[in-house]
Chains A and B, each alone.
Chain A
Amino acid sequence: MLGRTLREVSAALKQGQITPTELCQKCLSLIKKTKFLNAYITVSEEVALKQAEESEKRYKNGQSLGDLDGIPVAVKDNFSTSGIETTCASNMLKGYIPPYNATVVQKLLDQGALLMGKTNLDEFAMGSGSTDGVFGPVKNPWSYSKQYREKRKQNPHSKNEDSDWLITGGSSGGSAAAVSAFTCYAALGSDTGGSTRNPAAHCGLVGFKPSYGLVSRHGLIPLVNSMDVPGILTRCVDDAAIVLGALAGPDPKDSTTVHDPINKPFMLPSLADVSKLCIGIPKEYLVPELSSEVRSLWSKAADLFESEGAKVLEVSLPHTSYSIVCYHVLCTSEVASNMARFDGLQYGHRCDIDVSTEAMYAATRREGFNDVVRGRILSGNFFLLKENYENYFVKAQKVRRLIANDFVNAFNSGVDVLLTPTTLSEAVPYLEFIKEDNRTRSAQDDIFTQAVNMAGLPAVSIPVALSNQGLPIGLQFIGRAFCDQQLLTVAKWFEKQVQFPVIQLQELMDDCSAVLENEKLASVSLKQ
């Protein structure tokens, strides 16, 4: 039951094959068994069980709220949850309990979903590994998969397998690990520069970033307001569409959500024929750093579309190479502004120093934020200084417009959907990953994903195949703004063609205690 998709388990609930409480307990028990993955910061066991009980009553009375009723979900710990601690994996917000629910959280609850807990991330979602949060790094469940372990055994150079675990990617790595390890059926991530799609690619999941303005950001603790979008992580495209159907729509509390009527629910047709489709391949995305395996899969995917009758075109997004730098300037500037509210006065961490208000601010922020956050605040304030504003911030805004126009031009040339890699390669071991600093890693890892955020477009990462090492590789589809349904429809067709294998974690689940034994040294104290 746990390995099923959301749609399948939803049907099982409706048919009475399993009750919401049974399902909830199974997931809770798996969360405990996989605690070493560090996917969750807070497990809301009591809340989930109570919700399950209520859901069960509804099913008994034939009053189910729909596809999500009784479905265990997880939420990244940068979405405000009423009465449940929301930390952003930062000392700054340890102990902060919001008095309200983010709109997306409220919508999930209104549809009867069970909130299993709050998932781990890079501090304030700043990172691409889920390694830089105050609660420690998240481990990729694929590190413990049969597929990966068998390949490792064949490799004579492999070291101690248990200390050689892989990162999930990030920053929504906790959400990705939670879905990938079957502890829930869908999870909310956030996506500012690729934070949902990147870990989805590394964890073999569907990671969907909706169009900016389609889903409310109210209650999402911001990284970059003009680029943040709540993201959806699921095991298949249909599941992502179900969750999107529950979340999409205008919100009076978020003035950037759009009012135009959208087709709801997002029921995806099964495409029988792709001959009317035009797929664009952006030539600038073929970069030297791209691994040969990803490149080859990308090329095979294009061939697949072509062989099935779709038109496949090479297109140009000429400003792509400026994108990462531009993203860095805009991101850090908004970060500097958004982080100003964390001053220790009203909520969150406050230092012991009370010599003066200024001294209190300084010490609170030094103690509350990690190096990555502080570094971005400093850069951002530099770009916002009066003497730098025109040369950096204003220029970056102009470049952002050029990048957005690149996409518009590509779509205007007749392309329906763009096909690109999601990441340069498959997930790397933690020890490998931390050889580079957060900034370098983010610049590399966001290379194919952040331009979409600057343009506000919908994009989805679809798992395609396993690498030679037995690790998932994802490809990204990018759609026209607010053509989310069309994008997901194409993704669904593609998903069906590639038949990506299910992660084999049976061994892990059967033998968790052994793993835990071996993990003691490396694991970080968990907060649950």
Chain B
Amino acid sequence: MAAPMLRWVGRGRLWTFARVDGGSCHRRGAPTGSTSNRIRGQSSVAQQPLYTTQKPRKGEHKWAAVVGLEIHAQISSNSKLFSGSQVRFSAPPNSLVSFFDASLPGTLPVLNRRCVEAAVMTGLALNCHINKKSLFDRKHYFYADLPAGYQITQQRLPIAVNGSLTYGVCAGKKQSQVIPKTVRIKQIQLEQDSGKSLHDDLRSQTLIDLNRAEGQLRVDANISVHHPGEPLGVRTEVKNLNSIRFLAKAIDYEIQRQIDELENGGEILNETRSFHHQLGCTMSMRDKEGKQDYRWFMPEPNLPPLVLYDATSLPAGADPQQVINIDQIRETLPELPRVTRERLVQQYGMLLEHSFTLLNEVGLLEFFQNVIKETRAEPKKVTSWVLNTFLGYLKQQNLAVSESPVTPSALAELLDLLDSRTISSAAAKQVFEELWKGEGKTPGQIVSEKQLELMEDRGSLEQLCHSVMEAHPQVVMDLKEGNPRAINKLIGLVRKATQSRADPAMIKEILEKKLSS
């Protein structure tokens, strides 16, 4: 993916080199934290503990694993990192290719301002130091989908360095305990994406798509194992992992493979591997893609150093269109997810895992907050309805929050009716189901059309109870003979007769009174 964070489209990438401190023992035995380090030539990976495959038998050492991630994320931008051509998902192959993208001789890169802003924002969100001056480099290799023979990246002096991301890992019996973790970010760099190769083995052909807007995320994982207290092991790099699930599987597999290899007297080669997701294993990549001699990184001569400003260094009278102000970007930074989650827990007494759910579904938090704004109902009630009922309906029909037929206002009104005891919980569910049909009726209209109001008239309810008792003498008899559970049957019968409009507590009270009289 080249494009996620910002609008970088197809060609931009963010590389995050995170390095994590101590990993933790995981039930499956994989270290949770990843870490990262740079791709090549970095010796100092953090010392980390921990990973034990099974209980060490006598005479056996524990193993520790070190994991570093190189994350390629596509910036969400309208045009590419270095050219004006558009970025659009699933556009026809080679339909969004400028002369520069095709590397026609004489073309030059022009840096996309939006991508720089996105990189700065990402750096700020990840607690990085933003370099006021950063440089671009060329990384050379011959490959058919790399038409210039080099990739423009930021190797020597990237836009952001030394950051960290704090997150929580759920643990405990019910996964209800959240253990805080911190992963260190080594650097964030802007990088041009390569094209896409499609190999047609049947015809021995390779087709190239230079649109370069592929997925959303791609991760290379660097993994090694060693005995705690001893030098770090030789690492391997598992390339092109494109989902979190495969990433975890690949890391687990590779750690175990390395341990097995070493315990059987083998050795680990410093090599590039790929993850086979059907077989669930990693395999050595023996082709060119695996072993490339990048030559050394040469400065990109066509892009001057990227200079950023802050409030103190901004030159007087600078054209805002010509300069990028870090402080200005900081002001536009939205509340970060960690802060939001803490706020939700504190403000609404919500469980932490509920706050995760609210944030993980696009638009759900906003929906929740809009409901809260408009209803008198308790936040806990709102949380429960949004996470259980509302999210349940969405999931069942595979809809996004934005596609929901129920608006926050409608749900708020519904919860108000419930809160004011105008309707029962059961009736509320019915109303919600009606709302989901999207016929444009308000909860109030539905309640009155269907006559779902709670029966507030005690006299009529007493009358109804009386009729039910008379119609079911056998049940009354049971009850009088000492079967206390029989009263539930009577309550159910009364509720049914009221079409769930009566408060069960009031029914019970009336019935008990009548029975004892």
Contacts and interface: CB of A to CB of B under 8 A. Distances in A.
Interface in A319-362: 333-334, 336-337, 339-343, 345-347, 357-358, 361
B301 A340 contact: no
Given A100-B99, A221-B105, A340 B142 contact: yes
B138 interface: yes
A99 B150 contact: no
Contact count band on A: 35 or more
Contacts of B328: none
Nearest to B206: A357
A447 interface: no
A381 B138 CA distance: 13
Given A99-B99, A337-B138, A347-B104, A255 B302 contact: yes
Contact count band on B: 20 to 34
A142 interface: no
A80 interface: yes
A20 to B, nearest CB: 28
B148 A340 contact: yes
B149 A225 contact: no
A467 interface: no
Interface stretch (B23-31, B108-116, B222-230, B489-497): B108-116
Nearest to A390: B296
A222 interface: yes
B111 A255 contact: yes
Contacts of B150: 337, 340
Interface string B295-316: 1101001111000000000000
A315 B253 CA distance: 69
A384 B140 contact: yes
Interface in A97-126: 98-100, 102
Interface stretch (A171-179, A212-220, A407-415): A212-220
B106 A102 contact: yes
Interface string A141-176: 000000000000000000000000000000000000
A252 B298 CA distance: 24
Contacts of A285: none
Given A256-B302, A333-B298, A340-B142, A346 B108 contact: no
B295 A386 contact: yes
Interface string A389-419: 1000100000000000000000000000000
A224 B298 CA distance: 13
Given A253-B110, A361-B142, A337 B296 contact: no
B108 A217 contact: yes
Interface string B269-292: 000000000000000000010000
Contacts of A86: 105
Given A255-B110, A357-B144, A389 B105 contact: no
27 contacts: A86-B105, A100-B99, A100-B104, A217-B106, A218-B108, A219-B106, A219-B107, A221-B105, A222-B106, A226-B301, A254-B302, A256-B108, A256-B302, A256-B304, A334-B301, A336-B295, A339-B149, A341-B105, A343-B142, A343-B147, A343-B149, A345-B144, A345-B147, A345-B208, A361-B142, A384-B296, A389-B296
Interface of A: 79-80, 86, 88, 93, 96, 98-100, 102, 217-222, 224-226, 252-256, 259, 333-334, 336-337, 339-343, 345-347, 357-358, 361, 381, 384-386, 389, 393
Given A253-B110, A255-B302, A361-B142, 13 more contacts: A86-B105, A100-B99, A219-B107, A225-B302, A255-B108, A256-B304, A336-B295, A337-B149, A341-B103, A341-B148, A342-B105, A345-B208, A384-B295
